[in-house]
Structure 1
């Protein structure tokens, strides 16, 4: 595989999952975050999740935890991305924050390095426009929990080259994942559908049409979903859902994407889902998977 070193920007839930998945498939990985505390948390979480992965995925053997952890470098120094041939960015769904990251790594990384935007809604074409390499920018929308999801939504921006798509497919194949290629449009496919359902479920709660548990049970039993929309919101993060809806609302100027006020209230109250211990449900402890 040509991608000998991959950079991962953002050590949150998704970024940690991407880094784990890369390392347990034998890929040297550099994890960058502005917070040393976030990096320390990610290191501990990844080690714990490797053990859990072995318990739940006996059909896909991986190396021991120490060997996998040796492939991971955790740093607050963006300059360490100079050796990366591929960078996967996973920071919050905020355009101003993402824009600054891409301007920064565009100056640091070699001219042949490719950038993958792990976004739920932000335009890949827009990201490419702030760099000197728009043909080497594409979207890679990983689903949570990353190590056990078999597919990745790969988004082709307006200028994304065939070579960049091919490199992404090869990298994902090495990670034992299938790439599903789609074209750039805010929300893409999975999040445009999923966040819309979650937002509407939040309106149902706000309007007291049904209890949280009943809404989720109806969707799971009626449609065969493994998780209900409100359980999914807690897993992803209520704040992430809100930011995604705000991007869709701004992008399409369509009232159907108006974020539910309840989501805003929950984010203001710090009720973000599993990562905060309380969202639509209350959690006795943080759940890894």
Structure 2
């Protein structure tokens, strides 16, 4: 049984109302997305800004309610219960925005235990100290406030806050994007160690394919709220099939300064989700677009992966 299963998930936000207050125009942030996450795996969602990655993260964690579709945890629909919130926790992109500046580190980490009424005051303190040690922070950190910490320390506090309730699934919404490069590597190493120590399963949200190649088992490529390609990370990184995936990989900076990344695919900006293209979502930027692309393609099985592209459902090259 998969730990997490997302089925035909759609999220539409009303952006314009009639004079009677009834929504008349919608922004589709997530469009019929499906994927599964095995226990102990790292599943990544990757795409440009505006692709719907963070919306999916918030849907999984209950911050948003889905317009349609369902999310199953251990085979059962996720309910808005404290038990579900204990088992599924989230680490946010910006620790400056997600940590309460009026509370010290101890109060921030302990808060989850207090909300769920777990343990005595002494037991809660012991748990907080233990989890601080697991994330690499010393005991004196508990007295500090967020403004007294470095960016890396703040993110470690965010990780500790998420782990204090002993969840099974962590949703990580670009947890390294606000950090310096050297601190990013430390944070990824920490997350890898914690996954083994606490037997965690990760849903990892990122725009950085370098991180995906090093950190993930499976990856789903998102564009305008649609899954464009999904499968084992090694296959997708080594042999991307969808033109959008190819463009993302070409966009990765080259370590050798003599080799310039020549991206002939990802020209222009991602279209507005308020006015998405008709047919294939990628048609306005795809150099391989042809007449069938005026109709939206479905997901086609190609080996161990799924690809949303007419080049494969019609046998093209």
Alignment TM-score, normalising by the size of structure 2: 0.32
In terms of fraction of residues, the more helix-rich structure is 1
Higher RCO (Cα < 8 Å, 6 or more apart): 2
Greater fraction strand = 2
Q: Find the structure with the greater CA-based Rg.
A: 2
